[in-house]
C-alpha cells in the first residue's frame, strides 16, 4: 500500500473561487488532517479565529489543519512540514491567480526526493462560468492553468444561462480534452475532489482511450486526432509498433529543452521494445517521467497512445518525429 501523502494543487484565475473551494474542502472533510500551502497566507481567507498557533510561517488551525506560507522554495517548505512533527494526511496547495501550476507540479512529478514522501493526486482548476472564455482570449496564464488541469471545476454556474454554460464547456473541452469538467456553485460538488488519482496508471490509460475513439481514426498503423482552441492545440496519436526507449528518452529531453515553454502537457501509455509492461509517460514543463505500469494482456494487441497539449504545435512534425522513434520491425 502506498503510504505517501497525496497532494492536490488548486489553481484558477483571479476571482474564480479558489479560496471558496478551499474552505469548502476544509468543511466537507473534517476527518482529513489537511496541510495547506498558500503563496501568501494573508490572502487565504480562512477564518482567523481558527488560527491557534503560528511558528516559522506555519499556522495550526483549531480544526486540526495546518496552513503555511510559500515564502521559501517549495522543496524547503515541504521539508519544514515533514520535519516539524506536524500530523497531516493530505496536502493542498493553492496557487495565486496568475501562477502557472505546472511549475509546482514539476516537483512532485520529476523530483525523486519529493516523490519519496508525496504523490500528486490531481491539479484542479477553478473556472468562472461567466468570464472564462474572456480570460482565455486575453490571458496566457489562464490558458496554461486550464490546459494543465486534471479536473476543471466550472464554478458560479447559476450566474449564466444554460446556453452560455454549454458554450463554455465546449470551449474548455477543445482546450483540454483530457480534463474532467464539473459544474458547481460555491465550489460544491458531490465528486470526491481529494481522491481523483489523476496520475494513477489506470486513470491515465482510461483518459487516453477515451481520447482515441475508433470512429474518428484514419486507416493504417498510425492514427492521430487534432483539437484546436486558438493557438492552443491538442494532438493525439496511436502507434501499433513499439518505441525504442533510448531514442524516445533522448528525443523527449531535446524536445522539452528546446520547446518546453510551449508544451503544456504530454501524457502517454506506451509499448516499449523488450518490455512486457506498459510504460506511462508524463511531462511537466521541461521534465518528464517514465514509469512502468501493469503487464500487457496476452490476448489483445499492444498499442501506444500519446497526447500533446501545447501552443502552436505542428502535428505533422510531431508525427514524423515519433515514427522515427519506433523500433525496427525485425527487433520485436
> Domain containing 148 — which CATH number?
3.40.50.300
Determine what percent of the chain falls in helix, strand and coil, rounding each to the nearest 5: 35, 30, 35
Answer yes or no: do 50 and 98 share one domain: yes
Distance CA 197, CA 121 (A): 5
Distance CA 149, CA 181 (A): 10
Q: Is the dihedral of CA 65, 96, 20, 52 positive or negative?
A: positive
Which of 28-32, 72-76, 223-227, 316-320 holds the top average pLDDT? 316-320
Assess if residue 189 is contained within a domain. no
Checking if the pLDDT of 93 tops 50, the result is yes
Give the confidence band of 330 by pLDDT, cuts at 50, 70, 90.
Answer: low
| 0.75 surpassed by pTM | yes
Average pLDDT rounded to a whole number, residues 77-106: 83
Distance CA 26, CA 78 (A): 20
At 228-274, the pLDDT tens digits run 555 788 999 999 999 999 999 999 999 998 888 889 889 999 999 99
Answer yes or no: do 242 and 134 share one domain: no
Answer yes or no: do 113 and 141 share one domain: yes
**Tell me, what's the pLDDT at 253?**
93
At 10-19, the pLDDT tens digits run 998 877 888 7
Distance CA 163, CA 161 (A): 5
**Tell me, what's the pLDDT at 95?**
81
Say if CB 94 and CB 18 are below 8 A apart: yes
Checking if the pLDDT of 214 tops 60, the result is no
Q: Is 102 left (phi over 0), alpha (psi -120 to 50) or beta?
A: alpha
Checking if the pLDDT of 130 tops 80, the result is yes
DSSP assignment letter at 178: T
Distance CA 10, CA 1 (A): 26
**Cβ within 8 Å of residue 50, ≥6 positions away:** 61, 62, 63, 65
Closest among 85, 26, 25 to 55, alpha carbons compared: 85
Answer yes or no: do 167 and 238 share one domain: no
**Cβ within 8 Å of residue 237, ≥6 positions away:** 222, 223, 224, 225, 304, 305, 306, 307, 318, 319, 322
Checking if the pLDDT of 276 tops 50, the result is yes
**Tell me, what's the pLDDT at 185?**
93
**Structural domain containing residue 272:** 201-331
Closest among 315, 307, 112, 69 to 209, alpha carbons compared: 307
Count structural domains, the chain. Answer: 2
Task: State how far Cα 29 lies from the chain centre.
Answer: 22
Say if CB 51 and CB 59 are below 8 A apart: yes
**Tell me, what's the pLDDT at 332?**
56
Checking if the pLDDT of 62 tops 80, the result is no
At 215-225, the pLDDT tens digits run 443 333 555 55
Higher pLDDT, 68 or 178: 178
Q: Is 48 left (phi over 0), alpha (psi -120 to 50) or beta?
A: alpha
Residue 263 sits in a domain whose CATH number is: 3.30.1220.10
Answer yes or no: do 123 and 255 share one domain: no
DSSP H stretches of helix in the chain: 18-28, 74-83, 101-110, 112-115, 132-138, 140-148, 162-175, 201-211, 245-259, 315-324
At 145-191, the pLDDT tens digits run 899 999 999 999 999 999 999 999 999 998 899 999 999 998 999 99
Point out the domain boundary residue: 156, 183, 210.
183
Average pLDDT rounded to a whole number, residues 66-87: 75
Portion of the chain with pLDDT greater than 90, in percent = 42
Portion of the chain with pLDDT greater than 70, in percent = 82
Reported as half-sphere exposure (CB side, CA atoms, 13 A), residue 306 has a value of 26
Give the confidence band of 34 by pLDDT, cuts at 50, 70, 90.
Answer: confident
**DSSP conformation letters of 284-306:** ETTEEEEEEEEEPPTTS---EEE
End-to-end, the C-alpha distance of the chain in Å comes to 34
Answer yes or no: do 42 and 72 share one domain: yes
Say if CB 123 and CB 37 are below 8 A apart: no
Answer yes or no: do 175 and 271 share one domain: no
Tell me the pLDDT of the chain averaged across its residues.
83
Answer yes or no: do 80 and 169 share one domain: yes
Amino acid at each position: 500500500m502506498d503510504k505517501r501523502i497525496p497532494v492536490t494543487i488548486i489553481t484558477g484565475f483571479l476571482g474564480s473561487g479558489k479560496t471558496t473551494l478551499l474552505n469548502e474542502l476544509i468543511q466537507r472533510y473534517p476527518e482529513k488532517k489537511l496541510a495547506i500551502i498558500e503563496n501568501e497566507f494573508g490572502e487565504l481567507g480562512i477564518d482567523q479565529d481558527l488560527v491557534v498557533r503560528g511558528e516559522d510561517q506555519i499556522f495550526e488551525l483549531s480544526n486540526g489543519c495546518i496552513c503555511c506560507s510559500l515564502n521559501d522554495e517549495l522543496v524547503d517548505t515541504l521539508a519544514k512540514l515533514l520535519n516539524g512533527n506536524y500530523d497531516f494526511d493530505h496536502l493542498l496547495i493553492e496557487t495565486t491567480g496568475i501562477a502557472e501550476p505546472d511549475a509546482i507540479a514539476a516537483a512532485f512529478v520529476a523530483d525523486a526526493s519529493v516523490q519519496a514522501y508525496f504523490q500528486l493526486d490531481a491539479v484542479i482548476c477553478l473556472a468562472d462560468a461567466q468570464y472564462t472564455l474572456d480570460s482565455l482570449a486575453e490571458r496566457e496564464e489562464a490558458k496554461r492553468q486550464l490546459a494543465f488541469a486534471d479536473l476543471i471545476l466550472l464554478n458560479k454556474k447559476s450566474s449564466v444561462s444554460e446556453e452560455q454554460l454549454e458554450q463554455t464547456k465546449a470551449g474548455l473541452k477543445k482546450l483540454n480534452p483530457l480534463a474532467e469538467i464539473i459544474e458547481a456553485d460555491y465550489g460544491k460538488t458531490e465528486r470526491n475532489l481529494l481522491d481523483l488519482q489523476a496520475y494513477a496508471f489506470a486513470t491515465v490509460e482510461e483518459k487516453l482511450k477515451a481520447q482515441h475513439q475508433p470512429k474518428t481514426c484514419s486507416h493504417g498503423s498510425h492514427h492521430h486526432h487534432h483539437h484546436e482552441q486558438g493557438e492552443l492545440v491538442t494532438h493525439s496519436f496511436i502507434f501499433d509498433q513499439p518505441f525504442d526507449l533510448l531514442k524516445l528518452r533522448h528525443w523527449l529531453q531535446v524536445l522539452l529543452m528546446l520547446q518546453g515553454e510551449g508544451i503544456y502537457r504530454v501524457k502517454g501509455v506506451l509499448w516499449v521494445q523488450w518490455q512486457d509492461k506498459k510504460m506511462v509517460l508524463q511531462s511537466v514543463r521541461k521534465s518528464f517521467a517514465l514509469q512502468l505500469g501493469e503487464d500487457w494482456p496476452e490476448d489483445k494487441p499492444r498499442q501506444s497512445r500519446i497526447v500533446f497539449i501545447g501552443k502552436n504545435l505542428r502535428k505533422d512534425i510531431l508525427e514524423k518525429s515519433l515514427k522515427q522513434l519506433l523500433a525496427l520491425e525485425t527487433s520485436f
